[in-house]
Amino acid sequence: MNSPTSGVFRVAVRDRVMIAHSFVGAVFGPAQRLHGATYEITSEYASEHLDPNGIVLDIGFCHEVLAEVLAPLRFQNLDELLPFSGVNTTTEFLARWIHQQVTARMRGQFHGMLRITLDESSVAWASYEGPVA
């Protein structure tokens, strides 16, 4: 079960978070003003191998880690949070930030690729993908 394959196994979990923020720069138009967003966040783990239990990663553990990372953001104005001081918290930026936070919690637990996707709506999203080592 743990031998290399020509394909990739994937496991994903989702959560939601409601935030407020604003952007600096004419390119953002009306989004320069304070506004809210509800993101649906997907954390997707990919590996060429299954562990001895026949899984990529425990789904319950994945849910716990994602919820822990999102907890400090829930119902917050990101403009007021220290980690985001002076930063445009774009969807792309937040995808990478969440990836970094999840990766820090997964070190030693998972070796593979992690993609974080933030859905702004049913027609717009951004993602960031990189290794967890």
User: Can you give the CATH number for the domain in which 87 is found?
Assistant: 3.30.479.10
Does residue 44 carry a pLDDT above 80? yes
Give me the count of residues in the chain. Answer: 133
Full residue range of the structural domain in which residue 43 is found: 9-132
Asked whether residue 4 is assigned to any structural domain, the reply reads no
- How high does pLDDT run on average in the chain? 95
Does residue 6 carry a pLDDT above 90? no
Sheet with strand 35-47: strands edge to edge: 76-77, 9-21, 35-47, 112-121, 124-132
For residue 90, how far is the Cα from the chain centroid?
Answer: 13
Does residue 63 carry a pLDDT above 70? yes
